[in-house]
């Protein structure tokens, strides 16, 4: 039995500890927001936070998250500055990569409230978007950062 | 615009009673009403595309697949503009598969493609909105015993004489009992929604993880399957030992299907683990001999021989024969994978006399019919529900319905609902690529340095041959999509000949965002650039001189030059390239600025894009589609190639089939030409010009002309070496 927290809730799953966290989230826990894009850590569609760090859940064995805190797209509040900025900049196209993009962006802003363009390059280049929304992702991150800082650095 | 409005207008008047007292006209209420707030008992559905609830909700039923291009917003905008409803009340729901939802131009099928969604639905959906507005006005006028001409609709309210007001919701039940007008009149005067950058209705679901893609579909008792596929195209199972696979915990079944061997399990991971344990000996047949290197040689050989003539103006051969100076160039483009972010997958729940398919299809009628064939059912026994598509780019409109067929074949043997998922490697290696192309052009110039003769041979597989579109799109052996963008070039060339060879081979090909234009734009715009430089002319002015009869081409070209600061100095090592291409009824010019570092790494710094797509529904969507097309085209220009050796596709995932990443994203500026011309497409036209704009910029920066895509560092280094 593997016990960990997902979006603040304790979850117990009876799964082979080698099973990637992504498939436990999707197939066992019914949390379908994290997406499968490559299965090899190459695209970022499956990005979640584990104890505050963005990780590729497709290559993270669920055994490794025993006792840890996992946050998925479902655990990011609708009024979070990043989600709001995503809406304001109209980032999404097909939308498939966007949960992963948002998870990476949230983690970036938690670490660097005022990221530079090269911070964004570094933090976001592991997330592919076949629809090519990169320009808007960059703008949205800057906008969310600005909003957070105006509000006095709160995480909204 | 729709040429078949006669047919669609007639549909407006088919009526049937709706349980609960409303009226439903030719309207199949779509499944589950998942995206719309449920209309209460007495809703008003004047046609197949619209439902107005007594709760004031306005639901637009969308017959196009949403794959990023924003149809769940642009098509509702068309209805809402004429309906004069409150945009805040508008929601969307995907349509079921039914004849009412067939493509307005492509014949009796529901399909999304060819950058046609707005173009083909503009008239039909405007009329749908207008008809409903007239009925609501008639209902209000009747209520007030007033003259309908004295009533008007605004933001979901009918206003009558003396300040009387009734909302759409209050009028819905009454309006539903009226006759649908046969010739509804479109609004005159200014637009309230069209032309405004309204926010997308599907964005909230896409950022909170609730947008339902095919891969997210589940059902009680659902199993998941992955398929072991032959290592080469056309391979078949010779020997199978499934015992080890069946011993993997969670694996339920191993079943043979046409595509290979399916491992069915109680989740994706056990299915994948089971597949790793399969022991299969494949019979490779001829497939094992295919190699792209050999094909390239064969294509080059063919290009030296006459092909079928697709265009002949004047006598290019004779003029070239006589000319003293001929310019010849050969271009090569590889196979390309669509690589939609969501790998192909399909959910099937097959029962004795019914079948439910839930998948991201662009080609619903064909997919449904294929499912029926495989299941041994009648088409009407199959329900196909269109989910969100995690990218399409043409891949989900496959005439063979490959990903649906294989899933139904698996479902025939499982007895429970099943979802078949392709891994990224499965998706990339199972085919349906943009064809590989080889082009050879010979030209000569006149006294002013302008092209006098141009002889162009194209070699590449036909996409259309063998599909249901063959009779319409292959004429005298010429697949129109193989020569589009070349045989119909707008440039003034007095002696022009375009020839085509369409070799056949085992590699499956398909339309890939912008189809033939993805190839011809690179060749045409690169070679034109070469001619300009040969003539010692500015490539922008050179194009202008050849387009005097084409004002829309000229306008985008001139605007791109102006907005990009064409001719202004750039830093050392940088270059600017221009390209122009018409496709899908739209005109796009792009200027790229690039630089090359010492490692041969090309960096695209800025792209200025100008589009004339006629009348516009949502300018932000147009902009987004240009940005998207540029990135899609850049991935192909810089990195994309599918190659085969011994029949095996050599790429499998994003490490060897790279896509553009954020750090490599150029600054993109999009300018839209204001126009009252008929609407053009926007999903694809952004793609074609970017590869030649970049290659032309590379030449401007370095003096090196690379005629083969992708522009990999190895190729660039070799070209730079050769130059010195
Ligand atoms: S699915 Fe995990 S990185 Fe691509
Ligand atoms: S929005 Fe489609 S892959 Fe990013």
Domains: count for chain B: 3
Q: Where in chain A is the domain with CATH 3.10.20.30?
A: 2-75
Contacts of B69 in chain A (CB under 8 A): 93
Place of tokens 């997406």: A35
Nearest to B663 among A20, A45, A125 (CB): A125
Task: Determine the Cα–Cα distance for residues B443 and B456; give it in Å rounded to an integer.
Answer: 8
B79 is a domain residue: yes
Do you find a cis peptide bond into B111, omega within 30 degrees of 0?
A: no
Q: Is B391 on the interface with A (CB under 8 A)?
A: yes
Pair (B622, B665) in one structural domain? yes
Pair (B442, B350) in one structural domain? no
Pair (B79, B127) in one structural domain? yes
Q: Say how many Å lie between the CA of residue A68 and the centre of ligand 1.
A: 20
Index of the ligand 1 atom closest to the CA of residue A128: 4
Pair (B225, B319) in one structural domain? no
Pair (B547, B624) in one structural domain? yes
Q: Is the Cβ pair B343, A37 closer than 8 Å?
A: yes
Q: Show which of B354, B386, B421 is a domain's final residue.
A: B421
| Residue B189 banded pLDDT, cuts 50, 70, 90 | confident
Q: Are B691 and B633 in contact (CB under 8 A)?
A: yes
What confidence score (pLDDT) does residue B29 get?
A: 30
B172 is a domain residue: yes
CATH architecture, domain defined by A2-75:
Roll (3.10)
Extract the tokens encoding B681.
Answer: 């497409």
The alpha carbon dihedral of B480, B485, B486, B487 has a sign of positive
| Residue B600 banded pLDDT, cuts 50, 70, 90 | confident
Global ipTM: 0.96
Q: What is the mean pLDDT of residues B170-178?
A: 95
Percent of chain A with pLDDT strictly greater than 70: 96
End-to-end CA distance of chain B: 54
3-class secondary-structure state, position A43: coil
Contacts of B147-154 spanning 24+ positions with Cβ under 8 A: B152/B84, B153/B83, B153/B84, B153/B85, B154/B84
Q: Are A108 and A124 in contact (CB under 8 A)?
A: yes
Q: What is the mean pLDDT of residues B598-605?
A: 86
Place of tokens 């429970």: B416
The DSSP H or E segment spanning B58 is: strand B58-62
B70 lines ligand 2 (CB under 6 A): no
Q: Are A95 and B68 in contact (CB under 8 A)?
A: yes
Q: What is the mean pLDDT of residues B293-306?
A: 98
Tell me the residue ranges of DSSP E strands in B144-248: 152-154, 157-159, 165-167, 223-228, 236-241
Mean pLDDT estimate for chain B: 93
Write out the residue range of the structural domain in which residue B241 sits.
214-285+344-421
Rounded to the nearest 10 degrees, how much is the dihedral formed by the CA atoms of B640, B643, B649, B652?
-20
Pair (B275, B316) in one structural domain? no
Closest CA to B94 of B348, B321, B388, B378: B388
Helix A117-124 × helix A134-150 angle, to 10°: 120
The residues that bridge with B669 in the sheet, in sequence order, are B608
Is domain A81-151 classified as CATH 1.10.150.120?
yes
Q: Dump the DSSP string for B565-607.
A: TTTS---TTEEEEEEEEEETTEEEEEEEEEEE-TTS-EEEEEE
Report the residue among A95, A102, A104, A127 best suited for mutation to probe ligand 2: largest number of ligand atoms under 8 A from its CB.
A95
Extract the tokens encoding A28.
Answer: 């066992």
Q: Give the number of other CB atoms < 10 A from CB of residue B617.
A: 29
Index of the ligand 2 atom closest to the CA of residue A91: 1
What confidence score (pLDDT) does residue A149 get?
A: 82
What confidence score (pLDDT) does residue B43 get?
A: 80
Q: Chain B closest CA to A8's CA: distance in Å?
A: 17
Pair (B171, B48) in one structural domain? yes
Q: Is the Cβ pair A40, B654 closer than 8 Å?
A: yes
Q: Is A56 on the interface with B (CB under 8 A)?
A: no
Q: Are B49 and B125 in contact (CB under 8 A)?
A: yes
Pair (B575, B677) in one structural domain? yes
Residue positions counted in chain A: 156
Q: Chain B closest CA to A112's CA: distance in Å?
A: 18
Alpha-carbon separation of residue B447 from B43, B323, B325, B451, B497 (angstroms): 72, 12, 12, 9, 20
Lowest mean pLDDT among A95-104, A146-155, B365-374, B674-683: A146-155
What are phi and psi for residue B434, nearest 5 degrees?
A: -65, 130
Q: Is A106 on the interface with B (CB under 8 A)?
A: no
Q: What is the mean pLDDT of residues B360-388?
A: 98
B2 is a domain residue: no
Q: Are B45 and B23 in contact (CB under 8 A)?
A: yes
Angle at B628 between CA B626 and CA B629, to 5 degrees: 65
B209 is a domain residue: no
Extract the tokens encoding B446.
Answer: 């006149």
Contacts of A128 in chain B (CB under 8 A): 341, 654, 659, 661
Q: Are B646 and B288 in contact (CB under 8 A)?
A: yes
**pLDDT tens per residue across span B71-99:** 999 999 999 999 999 999 999 999 999 99
| pLDDT surpassing 80 at residue B697 | yes
Report the residue among A36, A97, A100, A140 best suited for mutation to probe ligand 2: largest number of ligand atoms under 8 A from its CB.
A97
Task: Determine the Cα–Cα distance for residues B541 and A42; give it in Å rounded to an integer.
Answer: 44
Question: pTM higher than 0.90 for the full model?
Answer: yes
What confidence score (pLDDT) does residue B367 get?
A: 98
The alpha carbon dihedral of A26, A29, A30, A34 has a sign of negative
Index of the ligand 1 atom closest to the CA of residue A59: 2
What confidence score (pLDDT) does residue B42 get?
A: 67
Q: What is the mean pLDDT of residues B156-169?
A: 97
What are phi and psi for residue B517, nearest 5 degrees?
A: -65, -25
Q: Are B682 and B622 in contact (CB under 8 A)?
A: yes
Task: Determine the Cα–Cα distance for residues B370 and B215; give it in Å rounded to an integer.
Answer: 20
Pair (B553, B514) in one structural domain? yes
Helix B168-175 × helix B117-144 angle, to 10°: 90
Place of tokens 């979070």: A80
Q: Say how many Å lie between the CA of residue B360 and the centre of ligand 2.
A: 14
Task: Determine the Cα–Cα distance for residues B526 and B331; give it in Å rounded to an integer.
Answer: 9
In B376-516, alpha helices (H)? 402-414, 424-429, 470-473, 480-483
Contacts of B206 in chain A (CB under 8 A): 92, 95, 98
Extract the tokens encoding B557.
Answer: 């070209």
Q: Say how many Å lie between the CA of residue A47 and the centre of ligand 1.
A: 7
Q: What is the mean pLDDT of residues B467-489?
A: 94
| Window A:8-27, CB contacts with B under 8 Å | 16, 19-20, 23, 26-27
Q: Say how many Å lie between the CA of residue A99 and the centre of ligand 2.
A: 10
Measured in whole angstroms, how far is the alpha carbon of residue B629 from the centre of its chain? 10
pLDDT in tens, chain A (156 residues): 999 999 999 999 999 999 999 999 999 999 999 999 999 999 999 999 999 999 999 999 999 999 999 999 999 999 999 999 999 999 999 999 999 999 999 999 999 999 999 999 999 999 999 999 999 999 999 999 998 887 654 444
Q: Dump the DSSP string for B673-694.
A: ----SPP---SSTTSTTHHHHH
Task: Determine the Cα–Cα distance for residues B518 and B484; give it in Å rounded to an integer.
Answer: 10
Nearest to A124 among B200, B388, B662 (CB): B662
| A-to-B residue pairs, Cβ atoms closer than 8 angstroms | 179
Q: Chain A closest CA to B625's CA: distance in Å?
A: 9
Measured in whole angstroms, how far is the alpha carbon of residue B406 from the centre of its chain? 23
The residues that bridge with B438 in the sheet, in sequence order, are B332, B459
| pLDDT surpassing 70 at residue B272 | yes
What confidence score (pLDDT) does residue B56 get?
A: 95
Pair (B362, B252) in one structural domain? yes
What confidence score (pLDDT) does residue A152 get?
A: 57
B4 is a domain residue: no
| pLDDT surpassing 90 at residue B561 | yes
Give the CATH number of the domain where residue B383 resides. 3.30.365.10
Contacts of B213 in chain A (CB under 8 A): 35, 96
Task: Please return the burial class of B321, using the count of CB atoms within 10 Å of its CB with bins 0-12, 13-18 and 19+.
Answer: exposed
Pair (B450, B563) in one structural domain? yes
Measured in whole angstroms, how far is the alpha carbon of residue B90 from the centre of its chain? 26
**pLDDT tens per residue across span B3-58:** 333 323 223 223 332 332 233 333 323 332 322 223 445 688 888 999 999 999 99
Contacts of B215 in chain A (CB under 8 A): 32, 35-36
Q: Is the Cβ pair B663, A122 closer than 8 Å?
A: yes
Q: Say how many Å lie between the CA of residue A88 and the centre of ligand 2.
A: 17
Contacts of A74 in chain B (CB under 8 A): 208-209
Angle at B92 between CA B88 and CA B94, to 5 degrees: 175
Q: Which residue of A has its CA nearest to B265?
A: A27
Contacts of B662 in chain A (CB under 8 A): 120-121, 124-125, 127, 129, 134, 137-138
**pLDDT tens per residue across span B311-355:** 999 999 999 999 999 999 999 999 999 999 999 999 999 999 999
Task: Determine the Cα–Cα distance for residues B165 and B158; give it in Å rounded to an integer.
Answer: 6
Q: Dump the DSSP string for A51-91.
A: TTEEEEGGGSBGGGGTT-EEE-GGGS-TT-HHHHHHHHTT-
Alpha-carbon separation of residue B50 from B26, B118, B142, B155 (angstroms): 10, 17, 22, 16
Measured in whole angstroms, how far is the alpha carbon of residue B392 from the centre of its chain? 6
Q: Are B101 and B110 in contact (CB under 8 A)?
A: yes
Q: Is the Cβ pair A16, B659 closer than 8 Å?
A: no
Q: Are B468 and B366 in contact (CB under 8 A)?
A: yes
Return the ligand number nearest the Cα of B67. Answer: 2
Going across the sheet that includes A9-13, the strands are: A9-13, A2-6, A69-71, A47-50, A53-56
A48 lines ligand 2 (CB under 6 A): no
Pair (B574, B615) in one structural domain? yes
| pLDDT surpassing 80 at residue B292 | yes
Q: Is the Cβ pair A35, B341 closer than 8 Å?
A: yes
The DSSP H or E segment spanning B531 is: helix B517-534
Tell how strand B157-159 and strand B236-241 pair up.
unpaired
| pLDDT surpassing 90 at residue B468 | no
Q: What is the mean pLDDT of residues B263-275?
A: 98
Q: Are B273 and B245 in contact (CB under 8 A)?
A: no
Q: Is the Cβ pair A132, B224 closer than 8 Å?
A: no
């Amino acid at each position: 039995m593997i016990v960990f927290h997902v979006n603040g809730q304790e979850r117990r799953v009876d799964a082979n500890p080698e099973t990637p966290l992504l498939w436990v989230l999707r197939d066992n826990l019914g949390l379908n927001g994290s997406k499968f894009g490559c299965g090899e850590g190459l695209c970022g569609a499956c990005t979640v936070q584990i104890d505050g760090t963005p990780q590729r859940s497709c290559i993270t064995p669920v055994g490794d998250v025993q006792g840890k805190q996992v946050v998925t797209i479902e655990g990011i509040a609708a009024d979070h500055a990043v989600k709001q900025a995503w809406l304001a900049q109209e980032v999404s196209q097909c939308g498939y990569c966007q949960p992963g993009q948002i998870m990476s962006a949230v983690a970036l802003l938690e670490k660097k409230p005022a990221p530079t363009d090269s911070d964004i390059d570094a933090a976001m280049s592991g997330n592919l978007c076949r629809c090519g929304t990169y320009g808007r992702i960059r703008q949205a991150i800057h906008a969310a950062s600005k909003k957070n800082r105006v509000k006095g650095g709160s995480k909204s | 615009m729709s040429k078949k409005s006669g047919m669609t207008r007639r549909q407006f008047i088919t009526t049937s009673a709706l349980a609960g007292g409303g009226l439903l006209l030719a309207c199949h209420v779509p499944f589950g009403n998942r995206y719309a707030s449920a209309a209460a008992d007495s809703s008003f559905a004047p046609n197949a595309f619209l439902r107005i609830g007594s709760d004031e909700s306005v639901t637009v039923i969308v017959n196009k697949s949403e794959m990023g291009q924003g149809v769940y917003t642009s098509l509702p905008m068309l209805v809402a503009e004429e309906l004069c409803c409150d945009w805040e009340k508008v929601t969307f729901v995907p349509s079921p598969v039914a004849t009412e939802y067939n493509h307005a131009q492509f014949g009796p099928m529901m399909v999304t493609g060819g950058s046609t969604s707005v173009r083909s639905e503009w008239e039909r959906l405007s009329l749908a909105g207008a008809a409903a507005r007239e009925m609501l006005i008639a209902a209000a006028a009747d209520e007030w015993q007033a003259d309908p001409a004295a009533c008007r609709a605004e933001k979901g309210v009918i206003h009558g004489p003396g300040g009387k007001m009734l909302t759409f919701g209050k009028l819905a039940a009454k309006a539903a009992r009226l006759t649908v007008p046969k010739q509804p009149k479109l609004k005159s005067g200014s637009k309230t929604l069209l032309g405004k950058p309204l926010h997308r209705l599907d964005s909230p679901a896409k950022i909170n993880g609730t947008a339902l893609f095919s891969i997210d579909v589940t059902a009680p008792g659902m199993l998941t399957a992955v398929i072991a596929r032959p290592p080469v195209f056309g391979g078949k199972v010779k020997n199978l030992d499934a015992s080890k696979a069946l011993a993997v915990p969670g694996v339920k079944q191993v079943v043979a299907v046409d595509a290979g061997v399916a491992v069915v399990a109680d989740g994706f991971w056990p299915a994948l683990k089971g597949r790793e344990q399969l022991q299969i000996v494949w019979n490779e047949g001829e497939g094992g001999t295919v190699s792209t290197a050999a094909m390239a040689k064969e294509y080059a050989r063919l290009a030296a021989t006459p092909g079928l003539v697709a265009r002949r103006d004047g006598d290019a051969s004779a003029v070239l024969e006589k000319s003293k100076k001929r310019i010849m160039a050969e271009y090569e483009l590889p196979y390309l994978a669509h690589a939609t972010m969501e790998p192909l997958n399909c959910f099937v729940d097959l029962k004795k006399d019914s079948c439910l398919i839930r998948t991201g299809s662009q080609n619903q009628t064909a997919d449904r019919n294929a499912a029926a064939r495989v299941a041994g059912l009648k088409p009407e026994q199959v329900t196909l529900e269109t989910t969100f598509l995690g990218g399409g780019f043409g891949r989900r409109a496959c005439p063979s319905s490959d990903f649906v067929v294989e899933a139904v074949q698996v479902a025939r043997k499982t007895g429970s609902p099943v979802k078949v998922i392709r891994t990224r490697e499965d998706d990339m290696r199972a085919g349906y690529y943009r064809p590989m192309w080889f082009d050879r052009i010979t030209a000569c110039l006149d006294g002013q340095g302008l092209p006098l003769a141009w002889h162009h041979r194209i070699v590449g597989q036909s996409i259309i041959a063998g599909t249901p579109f063959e009779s319409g799109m292959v004429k005298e052996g010429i697949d129109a999509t193989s020569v589009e963008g070349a045989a119909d070039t707008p440039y003034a060339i007095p002696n022009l000949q375009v020839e085509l060879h369409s070799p056949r081979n085992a590699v499956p090909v398909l339309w890939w965002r912008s189809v033939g234009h993805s190839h011809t734009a690179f060749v045409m715009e690169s070679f034109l650039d070469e001619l300009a430089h040969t003539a010692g002319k500015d490539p922008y002015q050179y194009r202008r001189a050849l387009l005097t009869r084409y004002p829309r081409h000229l306008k985008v070209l001139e605007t791109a030059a102006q907005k990009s600061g064409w001719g202004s100095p750039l830093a050392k090592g940088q270059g600017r390239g221009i390209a122009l291409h018409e496709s899908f009824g739209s005109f796009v010019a792009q200027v790229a600025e690039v630089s090359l570092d010492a490692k041969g790494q090309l960096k695209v710094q800025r792209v200025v894009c100008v589009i004339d797509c006629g009348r516009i529904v949502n300018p932000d969507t147009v902009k987004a589609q240009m940005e998207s097309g540029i990135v899609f085209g850049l991935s192909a220009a810089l990195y994309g190639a599918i190659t085969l050796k011994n029949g095996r596709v050599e790429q499998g995932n994003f490490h060897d089939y790279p896509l553009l990443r954020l750090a490599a994203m150029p600054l993109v500026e999009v300018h839209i030409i204001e126009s009252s011309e008929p609407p053009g497409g926007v999903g694809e036209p952004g793609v074609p010009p970017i590869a030649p704009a970049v290659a032309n910029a590379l030449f401007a920066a370095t003096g090196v002309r690379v005629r083969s895509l992708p522009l990999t560092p190895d190729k660039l280094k070799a070209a730079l070496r050769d130059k010195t």
